[in-house]
Structure 1
Amino acid sequence: MNCEKIKGKVSIRTVLESFNLFPVKENGKTGFYFALDREEKVPSLSVDYINNKAFDFGTGKNYDIISIVQQINKTSVSDALKYLEKFNFQPQEIDQKEEVRSNAKYEIIQVKEVKHPALVQYLKYRNVCDQIHFVKEIHYQINGKKFFGIGFLNDSGGYEIRNKYTKICLGKKDVTLLKSGMDCQREVKIFEGFFDFLTYRNIQRGANEVSDYLVLNSTAMLFKAEELMKKYNIISLFLDNDSNGRLITDKLFNQYNAVRDCASIYTGFNDLNEWFCSSGRYCDY
């Protein structure tokens, strides 16, 4: 695949997530990240999600997805293209042995039930506080500075960390499979992020469902789930209504039988949680 073609196919956000890099803050169209080539306390890398480019205010350097991979992996253009091929959402091009690396120097200080008022309030804001038992309160430090957030455990023992200002992963990036406890592998419901999973559980409170749940924790983790999905008779997708979500949906429709696209439930909204929050219903925690 040539440079220009792959630049239009692969999301810059997905590439950054594959290196365990997430925005410190974002507004939907633009995200601010820490620099790729140095440690800093104030994020200086501006990432344009619409035009698939980034600009480092500290050095004046422009990046596209190829030069990002070159910078992080210290590699050539041809090797960067090989790395990016796995994000083209073609089955034969996804390297199932590829592992997401983490450069963060962190330490988890404490894991406990969510009690901090700021975190409880954030769960209320996202309208999922009734599902508080699926998450933990994580206190951690990065480069000696202490932070705390809501933590969602993945299958490799890493934690997806979220609060009003933060979206990172501590530890190895992976999917999260939550089994129903039944032997039956009739259906798996797939979500991009854990807030959509918590939202679905909120909507279905009291329903007697026999299905498993798979949270990708990032579209870059799709390759981790491909073998697992073959075990199910029905695959129900609750993915985002964006270009990444549509690409993955189209890929899975071509690859598996009995795939259901449930994104029509929240047409006009980016994801299930955004739609549910707009409904005016609130949790009672």
Structure 2
Amino acid sequence: MNIQQAKNISIKSIMESFSLFPSKGNDRTAFYFALDREERTPSLSVNFVGNTAFDFGTGKKFDNVSLVQAIKQCSVSDALKYLAGLDYAFIKEEITAKRETSFEISAIKDLQHPALIQYLDSRNINFKTNYLREIHYEISGKKYFGIAFENNSGGFEIRNKYAKLCLGKKNISTFENNSSTLQIFEGFMDFMSFKNMDEIFGNPSADYAVLNSISLTYLLEKMIKKYEKVELYLDNDNAGDKGTIELKNIFPNANDQRGLYKEFKDINDFLMSR
């Protein structure tokens, strides 16, 4: 797929492929919440007719390709690959749910669906783990399934090849093993990648915290347990820089471990390079 072909894909379908739905709008334009920050009033204006978006908070303009780049933090070529997959896969689903639409979980079970196992395999992650489950759910009468990672509020971070969303209340995920060491990760894919490389990172008895969103660093202030050692394994990007600074303010003794994979965007990229 080339850039011109990518521009012909419905921008609404692109947003829906990431489980992003408008807060308000009509058939021509709609407002979404910002892609890179938490906000109470949506500031991202999306033009369904022109296939463009404008962030009133930052002044940034997006076409289909740059929009995918911003969401996935990827290169132009990777964005085009994603859009090529959208062209024949996700658009056919025609999701019409709004951001506030309720959902219903129909099943949570051990991972067994071939598509989900294949997705994890493509990212070099072992599906045989107690941390991940297979979830089946409905939104506006449409049935979906994905990989589920539970947070501390009983909500689920959901991933599959075409979707990234949270069902239920957003929160961090913590796992305590009575350790004096706390290891902190940005997302569960990085956490699972880390667990797939114990021979490199070691310390399987540590306590773990997965932010599930870089905006949730403040929730770690509520952790009563005092740790002798805190290790940070965030992404090598602007959001990771910001999160690292915020976490060091919470844990003055925290050590930034990103030098271990400094040539890669995140731990999963590092794992996939091996």
3-state secondary structure, aligned to 1:120: helix
Q: Which of 231, 238, 242 is residue 243 of structure 1 equivalent to?
A: 238
Aligned Cα root-mean-square deviation (Å): 3.2
Task: Give the deviation of 1:274 after TM superposition.
Answer: 1.2
**Counterpart of 1:135?**
132
Indicate how the Cα distance of structure 1 residues 213 and 48 shifts in structure 2: closer, same or farther if over 3 A, else same: closer
Q: Which of 191, 202, 214 is residue 196 of structure 2 equivalent to?
A: 202
Higher relative contact order (CA closer than 8 Å, sequence separation 6+) = 1
3-state secondary structure, aligned to 1:152: strand
Using the size of structure 1 for normalisation, the TM-score is: 0.65
> What does residue range 139-178 of structure 1 map to in structure 2 within 5 Å?
139-178=136-175
3-state secondary structure, aligned to 1:160: strand
1:57 maps to a residue whose letter is N
Task: Give the deviation of 1:106 after TM superposition.
Answer: 0.6
Cα distance between partner residues in 2 of 1:276 and 1:135: 18
Using the size of structure 2 for normalisation, the TM-score is: 0.68
Cα distance between partner residues in 1 of 2:31 and 2:58: 19
Indicate how the Cα distance of structure 1 residues 130 and 139 shifts in structure 2: closer, same or farther if over 3 A, else same: closer
**Counterpart of 1:35?**
22
Ranges in structure 1 where 5+ consecutive residues have no aligned partner: 1-21, 27-31, 68-101, 280-285
1:252 maps to a residue whose letter is L
Pairing 1:188–2:185 present: no
Task: Give the deviation of 1:47 after TM superposition.
Answer: 7.1
**Counterpart of 2:219?**
224
Pairing 1:268–2:263 present: yes
**Counterpart of 1:257?**
252
Question: What is the identity percentage for the equivalent residue pairs of Structure 1 and Structure 2?
Answer: 36
Cα displacement string for residues 120-174 of structure 1 (whole angstroms, at most 9, x for unaligned residues):
1011011112553311110001111000000000010000000000000000000
Stretches (4+) displaced over 6 A: 43-49
**Counterpart of 1:103?**
100
**Counterpart of 1:56?**
46
Cα displacement string for residues 58-108 of structure 1 (whole angstroms, at most 9, x for unaligned residues):
3777442489xxxxxxxxxxxxxxxxxxxxxxxxxxxxxxxxxx7231100
Higher mean C-alpha displacement, 263-272 vs 106-115:
263-272
Indicate how the Cα distance of structure 1 residues 264 and 59 shifts in structure 2: closer, same or farther if over 3 A, else same: same
2:22 maps to a residue whose letter is A
When the two structures are aligned, how many residues end up with a matched partner?
211
2:24 maps to a residue whose letter is D
Indicate how the Cα distance of structure 1 residues 160 and 268 shifts in structure 2: closer, same or farther if over 3 A, else same: same
Pairing 1:112–2:109 present: yes
Cα distance between partner residues in 1 of 2:236 and 2:147: 25
Task: Give the deviation of 1:210 after TM superposition.
Answer: 2.9
Cα distance between partner residues in 1 of 2:257 and 2:224: 17
Cα distance between partner residues in 2 of 1:222 and 1:231: 16
Cα distance between partner residues in 2 of 1:39 and 1:124: 40
3-state secondary structure, aligned to 1:168: strand
Cα distance between partner residues in 1 of 2:132 and 2:210: 13
Task: Give the deviation of 1:25 after TM superposition.
Answer: 4.1
Indicate how the Cα distance of structure 1 residues 24 and 233 shifts in structure 2: closer, same or farther if over 3 A, else same: farther
Indicate how the Cα distance of structure 1 residues 36 and 255 shifts in structure 2: closer, same or farther if over 3 A, else same: same
Task: Give the deviation of 1:250 after TM superposition.
Answer: 1.9
Cα distance between partner residues in 2 of 1:247 and 1:202: 26
